[in-house]
């Protein structure tokens, strides 16, 4: 058998999804829950993520998928008193002291046998200097002490189509800010860290109005043996986390 035959008959690996920075607002609240909205105002968002092993193309079962994002006005729980209309000049984990113990719009789920997790939340707003996005960290679990697991295999940010975001930002809960959201193409991390490949597929839940909410979905390919350079085990010891 020649080399060409061996290449074409091999099972191709699934594409690895691009990693992005974890940002300063990561926490480890150890909240396993599907609904992370805590009753906050905002347009509903149902999120479905499918996690695939990029080496084997098989679903990743039993991983913890954590997500976190800002509220309709741009604030993160834990940092609710940080003014989202002013840009922060630091992006490192633990760089900004927490202001509170709120937990809204944070939580994790275990992937099922098909590698799927689902979340009920709200469409995120924005804070100064960024496009709309959701943070994601995927931990590969081993043993029974799942919530103490620090093996983070993948860290990323999920973005939204501009058409959907523009309609959301005109809604009452999101409007009236002193700053404007960046478009995806204006966002440094989107343009330099593979944001186009991290953009959700988004559809309205209702036929007649965006007020009914949106459904967003994406498949994320990870290396389950990798240790993310964006969120290391020692980062879990930082006092803000």
Given a contact cutoff of 8 angstroms between Cβ atoms, the answer to whether 100 and 81 are in contact is: yes
Distance CA 38, CA 59 (A): 30
Sequence-ordered list of residues with C-beta below 8 angstroms from that of 153, at least 6 positions apart, any chain: 63, 138, 139, 140, 222, 223, 224, 225, 226, 227, 228
How would you classify the pairing of strands 133-139 and 214-222? unpaired
What domains can you pick out in the chain, each with its CATH number? 14-237 (2.60.130.10)
Given a contact cutoff of 8 angstroms between Cβ atoms, the answer to whether 224 and 140 are in contact is: yes
Query: Can you give the pLDDT at residue 5?
Result: 33
CB half-sphere exposure, 190, CA atoms < 13 A: 20
| Residues shown for the chain | 241
Vertex 34: Cα angle to 31 and 37 (nearest 5): 85
Distance CA 222, CA 232 (A): 16
Query: Can you give the pLDDT at residue 13?
Result: 52
Distance of CA 9 to the CA centre of its chain: 35
Q: What is the pLDDT along the chain (241 residues), one digit of tens a residue?
A: 333 433 333 444 568 999 999 999 999 999 999 999 999 999 999 999 999 999 999 999 999 999 999 999 999 999 999 999 999 888 889 899 999 999 999 999 999 999 999 999 999 999 999 999 999 999 998 777 888 889 999 999 999 999 999 999 999 999 999 999 999 999 999 999 999 999 999 999 987 667 789 999 999 999 999 999 999 999 998 878 7
Distance of CA 210 to the CA centre of its chain: 22
DSSP three-state, residue 169 = helix
Query: Can you give the pLDDT at residue 209?
Result: 64
Q: Determine phi and psi for 226, rounding to 5 degrees.
A: -75, 155
Distance CA 165, CA 80 (A): 22
Comparing CA positions, the residue from 47, 52, 62 lying closest to residue 17 is: 52
Query: Can you give the pLDDT at residue 164?
Result: 95
User: pTM to 2 decimals?
Assistant: 0.92
């Amino acid at each position: 058998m020649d080399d060409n035959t061996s290449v074409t008959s091999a099972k191709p690996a699934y594409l690895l999804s691009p990693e992005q920075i974890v940002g300063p607002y990561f926490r480890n609240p150890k909240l396993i829950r599907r609904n992370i909205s805590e009753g906050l105002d905002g347009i509903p968002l149902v999120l479905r993520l499918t996690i695939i092993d990029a080496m084997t193309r098989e679903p990743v079962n039993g991983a913890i998928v954590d997500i976190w994002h800002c509220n309709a006005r741009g604030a993160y729980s834990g940092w609710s008193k940080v003014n989202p209309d002013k840009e922060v000049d630091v992006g490192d984990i633990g760089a900004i002291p927490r202001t509170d113990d709120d937990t809204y719009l944070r939580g994790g789920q275990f992937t099922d046998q098909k590698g799927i997790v689902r979340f009920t939340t709200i469409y995120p707003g924005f804070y100064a200097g960024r496009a709309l996005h959701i943070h994601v960290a995927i931990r590969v679990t081993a043993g029974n002490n799942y919530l103490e697991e620090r093996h983070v295999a993948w860290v990323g940010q999920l973005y939204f189509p501009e058409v959907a975001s523009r309609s959301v930002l005109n809604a009452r809960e999101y409007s009236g800010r002193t700053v404007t959201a960046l478009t995806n193409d204006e966002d440094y991390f989107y343009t330099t860290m593979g944001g186009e490949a991290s953009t959700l597929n988004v559809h309205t839940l209702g036929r007649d109005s965006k007020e009914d909410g949106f459904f967003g979905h994406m498949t994320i390919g990870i290396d389950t043996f990798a240790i993310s350079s964006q969120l290391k085990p020692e980062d879990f010891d930082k006092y803000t986390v």
